[in-house]
A = this chain, B = another copy of it.
């Protein structure tokens, strides 16, 4: 097993493509996406019955080597600052190596 940093990102579904682009620029190769989720944050309730895409969130999980984290955050932070959304970083072990 191998130590990695796990990132969990929750953003507007409509801005997910931009986030993926930023992550890939930061060197991310793998990720998992859960679409069409709801939530509440600083910008109020996001719950559009899903046909109002503007009120829908997506949840993205990805991992990176600890030393790559800073580079990724540099790419990611301006996006979240501009358009809202959250990101949690935590420690995990990656099973396969």
Contacts and interface: CB of A to CB of B under 8 A. Distances in A.
A4 B15 CA distance: 25
A89 B94 CA distance: 6
A18 to B, nearest CB: 16
A90 B6 CA distance: 10
Quickly give the copy total for this chain.
Answer: 3
Interface in A21-64: 29-35, 37-42, 57, 59, 61, 63
B63 A80 contact: no
Interface of chain A, main secondary structure: strand
A30 B59 contact: no
Nearest to A4: B88
Contact of A93 (B10, B89, B92, B93): B89
